[in-house]
Amino acid sequence: MNIGVLALQGDVREHLSALAECDALARPVRRPEELDAVDALVIPGGESTTMSNLAITFGLLEPIRKRIAGGMPVYGSCAGMIMLATTVLDGRPDQESFAGIDMTVRRNAFGRQVDSFEADVAIDDIPGDDFHAVFIRAPWVEEVGAEVSVLGHVTSGPAAGRIVAVRQGNLLATAFHPELTGDLRVHRYFVEIVRQSSAR
């Protein structure tokens, strides 16, 4: 079981080490051949407009869309969540996504002035305390289709109630960055999705 981390831009290294700590074989993916060699993909946080440009330049846009349509498990954090959305609000007009999760996300939704903030997030399916979540110019989810499970929302503060974690089949997305806080529960949850999908 090999998990790739899309390594065009963003916090690739943090995801690679979080996956390694979960005992998953993780490697960077920059080229279509590298995508062919993995069973699952993590799309890191970063800047979705840049990631979109680079995905086109590196010939990865269509191949990743195809793998998603074929059932490949994918986890996206923050910019990665935007890259997994079917509809992006406040995006750049030419911005592309891999789509996959039937949802509308708003970029930089928590306020353009506020670069980052922290809040508690409860996630269904992941037992234990609320996540202490770090949001960095993060999106939130404004609408989901019938196939999408809402897994998590902000529990307190000005953004309370906002949807920040979703799952559709093998696709998982969070608006926050568990790879930056050392809380491995989201990565473990994803590795379990990959295991179950490989076993099938």
* Contact footprint for ligand GLN (CB under 6 A): 45-48, 78-79, 82, 107-108, 136-138
- Alpha carbons 152 and 15: distance in angstroms, whole number: 20
Residue tagged active-site, from 14, 22, 153, 179? 179
For the question of residue 177 being annotated catalytic, the response is yes
Q: How far is the CB of 51 from ligand GLN (least distance, A)?
A: 7
Residue tagged active-site, from 15, 153, 177, 187? 177
Closer by beta carbon to ligand GLN, 176 or else 189 = 176
For the question of residue 22 being annotated catalytic, the response is no
For the question of residue 179 being annotated catalytic, the response is yes
In SS3 terms, the chain reads as CEEEEECCCCCHHHHHHHHHHCCCEEEEECCHHHHHCCCEEEECCCCHHHHHHHHHHCCCHHHHHHHHHCCCCEEEECHHHHHHEEEEECCCCCCCCCCCEEEEEECCCCCCCCCEEEEEEEECCCCCCCEEEEEECCCEEEEECCCCEEEEEECCCCCCCCEEEEEECCEEEECCCHHHCCCCHHHHHHHHHHHHHHHC
Q: How far is the CB of 101 from ligand GLN (least distance, A)?
A: 15
Q: How far is the CB of 132 from ligand GLN (least distance, A)?
A: 16
Residue tagged active-site, from 14, 15, 22, 78? 78
Closer by beta carbon to ligand GLN, 97 or else 168 = 97
Q: How far is the CB of 91 from ligand GLN (least distance, A)?
A: 7
Residues with a catalytic annotation lie at 78, 177, 179
